[in-house]
Amino acid sequence: MQTWNYVEYLAWGLSILLGLYMVVDWLRTDTTYSEEVLTSSREGELEAMTEETFKG
């Protein structure tokens, strides 16, 4: 059965494509946006907000 050998190659090919997609998008994102924007996420946003609403 030859089919399964093609399936193997297909799996390799798809893996490489998906990997490339992530790497390309990652590099493009890193060059488009500034580091401050990308790493601006802070923990506990929701808690701070609800708490301040309570104090209102």
Partner 1 sequence: MADFDITSKEQDGMGPHGTKVGLLRVLGPAHVWALGVGIVLVGEYMGWNFAVGKGGAYAALLACWFAGILYTCVAMIDSEVTSTVAAAGGQYTQAKHIVGPLMAFNVGLYLVFAYTMLEAANAITAGYLVSVVATMTGYSGALDQRPFIVLVIMFLAWLNYRGVLATLTFNLIITAIAFVAIITIFLSTSGLLGGGIMQHAALFEGHELPYGWIGVLASMHFGLWYYLGIEGTTQAAEEVRSPARALPFGTLAGIMTLLIAATLTWYVCSGVLPWEFLGDGVNGSVAPLFDTARLSGSNALVWLLGIGTLFATLASANGCINDASRAWFAMGRDKYLPAWFGAVHPKYRTPYRSIVFLVPIALIFALGAPLDQVITFSILSGLLEYTFMPLNIILFRKKWPMGVIKRGYEHPFHPIPAITLLALCSITFFAVFLGYGTQLVAMIGFYIVVSLWFHFWRYRFVDRGAQFTMPWPRPHGY
Count of residues near partner 1 by CB under 8 A? 38
For 37-52, what is the HEC assignment? HHCCCCCCHHHHHHHH
We find the least distance from the C-beta atom of residue 27 to partner 1, in angstroms, to be 10
Contact call for residue 31 and partner 1 (CB under 8 A): no
Contact call for residue 24 and partner 1 (CB under 8 A): no
Rounded CA-CA distance 6/8 in Å is 5
Rounded CA-CA distance 7/11 in Å is 6
Binding site for partner 1 (CB under 8 A): 1, 3-4, 7-9, 11-12, 14-15, 18-19, 21-23, 25-26, 29, 33, 35-49, 51-53, 56
